[in-house]
Amino acid sequence: MSESIQFKTTQPHMLKTNKEYASQTLMGGLSGFESPIGLDRRDRIRALKSGDIGFVHSWDINTSVDGPGTRMTVFMSGCPLRCQYCQNPDTWKMRDGKPVYFDAMVKKIERYKELFKATGGGITFSGGESMMQPAFVSRVFRATKEMGVHTCLDTSGFLGANYTDEQLDDIDLCLLDVKSGDEATYKKVTGGILQPTIDFGRRLADHNVKIWVRFVLVPGLTDSEENVENVARICESFGDAVEHVDVLGFHQLGRPKWHELRIPYPLEDAKGPSAKLRQRVVKQFEDHGLTVY
């Protein structure tokens, strides 16, 4: 990793007087972080490549949602996929996030490290797609591991090639979204391709990183028996690295954001899965020897 860069355009007063920074709230915002608002475009690009800053949408403290124990979940900005059921379309564009210093992020984690250790929790990077910013996330994970705090990456694995084997060693747990089991369905759901997710999952397994697979069950989109069978086979290919599979029922909680952003919402009239459908899907995974939540 490169050494921290000194940014000629950033002055301390910029962080204290900027009205936008001062108005940010604790949950759903970035209060508590020193945000390098004064950086010009060239410096931001350099800092992003070095991991000296990361573009962050928001952060939160939660329990047993994004990994074990009490966790600090950081939602990074930027995502290459366009999932039909995305809950956070406001995280798609990296430029819509706020640049946050690496040092400020580490200090925030240090503030909570005793709580994390006491509860078996830690830090989770989510998004958006946190793997769009591998330098920043991996540097934070390295510092977090040095504190003795648990690390978790929430990702589709679509950009798994962005991570080196050395960087994988600082990930304790991966929440891996396997969004479908065949290329045609994956393309329909996300606009992307499936194979990078499979490749990344197998790399995680080779590096003894624990995996919680997440599968979103959308009636009429991801629920076919064949698709679910294929997802289960993919999970099997990760071997003992998979601790469990989360079957997440589709819901409409993200719909207001699509409306607010004036993005056509493809699942406007979609319903969540019935109990009968969920039971069928759970059994399909269990028939492959997988633990399902």
Structure tokens at 275: 């109990």
Global model pTM greater than 0.85: yes
Structure tokens at 154: 């929430």
Domain 12-209's class? alpha beta
pLDDT by position in tens, the chain (length 293): 444 433 333 333 333 333 443 333 233 456 556 666 566 778 878 888 899 999 999 999 987 779 999 999 999 999 999 999 999 999 999 989 988 999 999 999 999 999 999 999 999 999 999 999 999 999 999 999 999 999 999 999 999 998 999 999 999 999 999 999 999 999 999 999 999 999 999 999 999 999 999 999 999 999 999 999 999 999 999 999 999 999 999 999 999 999 999 999 999 999 999 999 999 999 999 999 999 99
Q: 239 pairs with which residues across the strands? A: none
Domain boundaries, the chain: 12-209
User: Distance (Å, rounded) from C-alpha 113 to C-alpha 44?
Assistant: 29
